[in-house]
Copies of this chain bind each other. A is one copy, B any other.
Amino acid sequence: MYQPKTPKDIRCPLEYGLDVFGGKWKSRIICVLAEKDTLRYSALRREMTNITDAVLAGALKELIRDGIIERKQYDEIPPRVEYRLSEKGKSVVPILQTICRWSGAYHREDSTNTLLQCQKCDYHLK
């Protein structure tokens, strides 16, 4: 997990937003949860393809801290933890779709390297 020594100088709302859903994994996590609604930790990791636990757990913590996703823990054995978007989290989805739609015109898929979870995204863009 990562922890900056200096508390990150976020100096305007725009920078705050880009920090909340920027980075390599956060937007993917939000997209997957937007589609699947509720996922257990292991299912979420499977959807992400190639993320490691250290990185996934770190990203989830930040998303929880920023109020984007909610974590619900069931005290069972074996343990069960479910993740889903909060209302705030759901409110960023249209923004991500807007970015996606804007980029769609410029980012032509080389077909060898496209995310499965973005087929939904492409569908919405038609």
Contact = CB atoms under 8 A, between A and B. Distances in A.
A104 B22 CA distance: 17
A99 B91 CA distance: 11
Count of identical protomers in the assembly: 2
Q: How large is the interface on A (under 10, 10 to 19, 20 to 34, 35 or more residues)?
A: 35 or more
Interface string A1-35: 00000000111111111101010000110010000
A27 B16 contact: no
Judged by DSSP, the binding face of A is helix
Given A14-B31, A27-B18, A9 B113 contact: yes
Query: Which of A16, A20, A91 gathers the greatest number of chain B CB atoms within 10 Å?
Result: A16
Contacts of A73: none
A71 B103 CA distance: 22
Interface string A99-113: 111111011010001
